[in-house]
Amino acid sequence: MGNVCEICGRRSKTGNSVSHSNVKTRRIWKPNIQRMLVEIDGKNKRINVCTTCIKSGRIKRPLKKIETAE
């Protein structure tokens, strides 16, 4: 699974990890990506979404169908 949000395009960032002795080594910050069922253009689709998009309401979750016993 790629670390890219399909809504906002957020992806991994790189930089340096700096120790107490000021030695720098490369590191990666990964976004919190979740695979979710989302309603897009009236169809349900499973996509990768970051938690920021989930919290802000940029995605629409599909409605659950309630079955009645008759």
| pLDDT tens, residue order, the chain (70 aa) | 578 999 999 999 999 999 999 999 999 999 999 999 999 898 999 999 999 999 999 998 988 766 676 6
Check residue 64 and give its pLDDT: 74
* Nearest one of 15, 20, 11, 22 to 48, comparing CA atoms: 11
Confirm whether 32 is domain-assigned: yes
Confirm whether 8 is domain-assigned: no
Confirm whether 18 is domain-assigned: yes
Check residue 67 and give its pLDDT: 66
Confirm whether 28 is domain-assigned: yes
By residue range, what is the domain housing residue 23?
Answer: 13-56
Confirm whether 41 is domain-assigned: yes
The span from the CA of 51 to the CA of 68, in Å, is: 33
Q: Tell me the whole-structure pTM to 2 decimals.
A: 0.73
Domain count, the chain: 1
